[in-house]
Amino acid sequence: MFIEKIKNNGKDYLRLVHAVRKPNKNGDMISSKKVILNIGPLDRFDDGQPDYLERLKKSFKAGNPLIPSLIPYCSSEKPAETYHFSIQEGSPSCFGHPKLFSHVLLGRILEELGLNTFFSSYKGFTKLTYDVYGFAKLLVFGRLLNPASKSATVRQNEDYSEPILKDFNPDNVYDTLSFIAANKDKIIRRMNTNLVKKAGRSPSIIYYDVTNFYFEIEDPDEDIVDEEGCLLEKGLRKFGVCKEERHLPIVQMGLFMDDNGIPIAIESFPGNTLDHLTLRPALKRNIDGLDLSRFILIADRGICNYMNLMHVLDAGNGYIVSKSLLKSTKKEQEWCYSDAGYTVISEDFKYKSRIVSRTVKDEKGSPRRIEEKVVVYWSRKFQERSRKENQSFLDFLQKLEESPENFRITSIQAKSLRKFMKKEYVNTKTGEAIHSSDIKGFLDFEKVSAYKKSMGYYQIVTSELAMDPQEVIDKYHGLTQIEDQFKVMKGDLETRPIYVRTPEHVEAHLLICMIALVAMRIIQNRIRDCSGDKGERDVYWNVGMSGERIRTALNKWKVDTLPGDLYRFMDVDDPDLSIILKAFGIDIPAKLYRRAELKSLKTGVKIFK
């Protein structure tokens, strides 16, 4: 078989033919051609380099055709190609300059999320003159591979085997942030639509949690008010309860995640916003408008506010949330601690449940009567962990009770003691105990006893009355996955500290980090699926291929240029990189490559099965 060029309607056309000899009507043997494959117009495949047709024929003969559709027609027995090139001493080619090739995989992920068509269509609609998608890709790739400031990320453009941007103004990166912020909701919807179509997203469970990110600035943002002092807009960077205990302005961020561990949406709030005040606005802006079937919202006790839960129910969905046992009524605590009704699984675990009726208030403040299932469980592992985490404080309380005059109370200890103080002694301005000799009189040791007694017990409430209690517990424990999301954002993706200043750019920065996190989760899920490990997802994310290992491996996937239009891949035999390539069906045989072959690698990358 060989490749020939013919004219088809005046255009050069390629086809694969097989030469055969057969007798004519006179019995003479003549040569004829049998068309094996109509390849297509030459200009569809020509890479613009000299002698494309000759190079195509040689590559087909060598068993590595420049056109992937010809691979099935190559001879299974092919001689190994010998490469000939020379480098003269003193030539710049003596020095290698490997460039990143991992953007090929990351770019295909963004394409499958629909972001290429989204940015392209909106660029045409808004008549933008700069490459907004190129800047967006550079920001997402940089966040995954080499997190840095926005200007430093733009300078990484030359680190890729094919620069993402060409003939650009670096300042347009900030215009890109403004574009992303203005189209945040549309970007989230586009990604969700494509994940529904291509990845089968149909979450029966949606997790929600809140974290915050700090800014290395001294002063918080001021609120914007009108001439009469009426609030027009709250400042975003505010002092609040920083999860990392830094006394710096922060921004709150709520994150929704599906049951495959892939983020759905984010929403930012001023840093002094309480967690339970974020849920309803975040649902209304991000989730209520998505085309999702009924789901169960899972959140921790910081979100357990019945106005929030009524919003979830009124939208036709359900909930599973934890509820503070210490803040429950005395009767509820007595039922929890009573041995009656418990199902004992082992000496280390027991649970029980009941259905209760409550009168609660909805968003409008109107009373509503609801039924919900209450599940409580006791776990020895949970008890031991709680005691270990609080042992030093418990020892301090015991010694304080025995000899308070020997202690000087620090501000941190005073803060921890507030919840144990008798109401009649609480200083509402500071909450601190000034004189250590008086502290014993301030403390309510019945509260201390209740605190110790609650260790090991956990309370969950749910709208799912028919759900088995153990299933309720198992589903709630899935919330730990969202904590892993936050760890990755703050660690591998280096989301904080945040250096952009305006609220729009802060929101765009967080969305870029979310898109990078989506890409990372897609990679991790493919690795998990390829390994055949369908269980213990948390363990596999953290151990099988952590975000740090993925970033290290993708940074090793480079290609170096050799003379004669030849290219050599670097480190594709690295164990972690090999796992990633295998998960996506990317086969890189041990050989040197030509430019057209590099391009064909991208077209063969399949992101979703």
- Tens digits of per-residue pLDDT, 161-217? 999 999 999 999 999 999 999 999 999 999 999 999 999 888 899 999 999 898 888
Q: Which residue has the higher pLDDT, 350 or 603?
A: 350
Percent of the chain with pLDDT over 90: 48
What separation in angstroms does the CA of 14 have from each of 40, 46, 66? 5, 11, 13
- Kindly give the pairing relationship between strand 296-299 and strand 205-214: parallel
Q: Which bin fits 351, alpha (ψ -120 to 50), beta or left (φ > 0)?
A: beta
Which segment, 16-30, 342-356, 419-433, is predicted with the most confidence on average? 342-356
359-396 exposure pattern, b = at least 16 Cβ within 10 A, e = fewer = eeebeeeeeeeeebbbbbbbbeebeeebeeebeeebeb
Among 89-93, 266-270, 297-301, 415-419, where is mean pLDDT lowest?
415-419
Residues β-bridged to residue 296 = 205, 318
**Residue 419's pLDDT band (cuts 50, 70, 90):** low
Final residue of a domain: which of 468, 484, 510?
Answer: 468
**Rounded Cα gap, residues 507 and 422, in angstroms:** 43
How high is the pLDDT of residue 543? 46
**Residue 540's pLDDT band (cuts 50, 70, 90):** very low
pLDDT of residue 439 exceeding 80, the answer is no
How high is the pLDDT of residue 606? 87
Contact between residue 407 and residue 424 where contact means Cβ atoms under 8 Å apart: no
How high is the pLDDT of residue 542? 45
Mean local confidence (pLDDT), 399-412: 61
Phi, psi angles (nearest 5°) of residue 405 = -70, -15
**Is 31 inside a domain boundary?**
yes
Burial of 22 (0-12, 13-18, 19+ CB in 10 A): exposed
pLDDT of residue 28 exceeding 90, the answer is no
When divided into structural domains, the chain yields a total of: 2
Beta carbons within 8 Å of 21's beta carbon, 6+ residues apart: 29, 30, 31, 32
- What global pTM score does this model have? 0.79
Q: Which residue has the higher pLDDT, 427 or 64?
A: 64
What separation in angstroms does the CA of 77 have from each of 55, 61, 69, 133, 209? 20, 11, 18, 44, 57
Look at the chain and count its residues: 609
pLDDT of residue 123 exceeding 90, the answer is no
pLDDT of residue 343 exceeding 60, the answer is yes
Look up residue 116 and give its two tokens. 């290429």
* Nearest residue to 561 via CA among 95, 84, 81: 95
Mean local confidence (pLDDT), 547-557: 95
**Is 558 inside a domain boundary?**
no
**Is 408 inside a domain boundary?**
yes
Burial of 511 (0-12, 13-18, 19+ CB in 10 A): buried
Q: What is the DSSP string of 353-407?
A: EEEEEEEEE-TTS-EEEEEEEEEEEEEHHHHHHHHHHHHHHHHHHHHHHH-GGG-
SS (H, E, C) 194-232: HHHHHCCCCCCEEEEEEEEEECCCCCCCCCEECCCCCEE
Distance of CA 138 to the CA centre of its chain: 17
**Residue 454's pLDDT band (cuts 50, 70, 90):** confident
Mean pLDDT of the chain: 86
The total of other beta-carbon atoms located within 10 Å of residue 211's CB is 23
Q: Which residue range is the domain that position 29 belongs to?
A: 2-73
What separation in angstroms does the CA of 101 have from each of 400, 428, 569, 576, 603? 62, 60, 9, 15, 14
* Nearest residue to 322 via CA among 211, 466, 244, 209: 209
pLDDT of residue 26 exceeding 90, the answer is no
**Rounded Cα gap, residues 376 and 360, in angstroms:** 21
Among 464-473, 474-483, 543-552, where is mean pLDDT lowest?
543-552
Among 114-123, 273-282, 359-368, 538-547, where is mean pLDDT lowest?
538-547
Q: Give the CB-side neighbour count of residue 489, counting CA atoms within 13 A.
A: 29
**Rounded Cα gap, residues 162 and 137, in angstroms:** 13
**Residue 404's pLDDT band (cuts 50, 70, 90):** low
Contact between residue 314 and residue 362 where contact means Cβ atoms under 8 Å apart: yes
Q: Is the peptide bond before 65 cis (omega within 30 degrees of 0)?
A: no
SS (H, E, C) 292-336: CCCCEEEECHHHCCHHHHHHHHHCCCEEEEECCCCCCCHHHHHHH
**Is 361 inside a domain boundary?**
yes
Q: Which residue has the higher pLDDT, 144 or 76?
A: 144
The radius of gyration computed from the CA coordinates of the chain, to the nearest angstrom, equals 31
Beta carbons within 8 Å of 485's beta carbon, 6+ residues apart: 255, 257, 261, 263, 517
- Encode pLDDT of 236-262 as tens digits: 888 888 877 788 899 999 999 998 889
How high is the pLDDT of residue 533? 58
Residue type, 462: T
**Is 395 inside a domain boundary?**
yes
Among 56-60, 167-171, 405-409, 452-456, where is mean pLDDT lowest?
405-409
Residues β-bridged to residue 297 = 206, 319
How high is the pLDDT of residue 159? 95
**Residue 443's pLDDT band (cuts 50, 70, 90):** low
pLDDT of residue 386 exceeding 50, the answer is yes
**Is 504 inside a domain boundary?**
no
* Alpha helices, H only, 478-559: 480-490, 503-531, 537-539, 547-556
* Nearest residue to 601 via CA among 158, 161, 154, 57: 161
Final residue of a domain: which of 427, 445, 468?
Answer: 468
pLDDT of residue 19 exceeding 90, the answer is no
- Encode pLDDT of 221-236 as tens digits: 888 877 777 888 888 8
pLDDT of residue 447 exceeding 80, the answer is no
**Is 251 inside a domain boundary?**
no
Q: What is the DSSP string of 66-90?
A: SSGGGGGGS-SS-PPP-------TT
**Is 13 inside a domain boundary?**
yes
Contact between residue 41 and residue 11 where contact means Cβ atoms under 8 Å apart: yes
- Encode pLDDT of 560-603 as tens digits: 999 888 899 999 999 999 999 999 989 898 889 888 888 888 77
Mean local confidence (pLDDT), 300-315: 91
**Rounded Cα gap, residues 5 and 519, in angstroms:** 42
How high is the pLDDT of residue 539? 45
How high is the pLDDT of residue 600? 80
**Rounded Cα gap, residues 525 and 573, in angstroms:** 21
How high is the pLDDT of residue 408? 57
**Residue 18's pLDDT band (cuts 50, 70, 90):** confident
Contact between residue 311 and residue 283 where contact means Cβ atoms under 8 Å apart: yes
How high is the pLDDT of residue 78? 60
Final residue of a domain: which of 402, 437, 468?
Answer: 468
Residue type, 573: D
What separation in angstroms does the CA of 419 have from each of 329, 432, 447? 16, 11, 8
Burial of 200 (0-12, 13-18, 19+ CB in 10 A): exposed
pLDDT of residue 519 exceeding 90, the answer is yes
* Nearest residue to 282 via CA among 211, 227, 218: 211
Percent of the chain with pLDDT over 70: 89
Mean local confidence (pLDDT), 104-112: 96
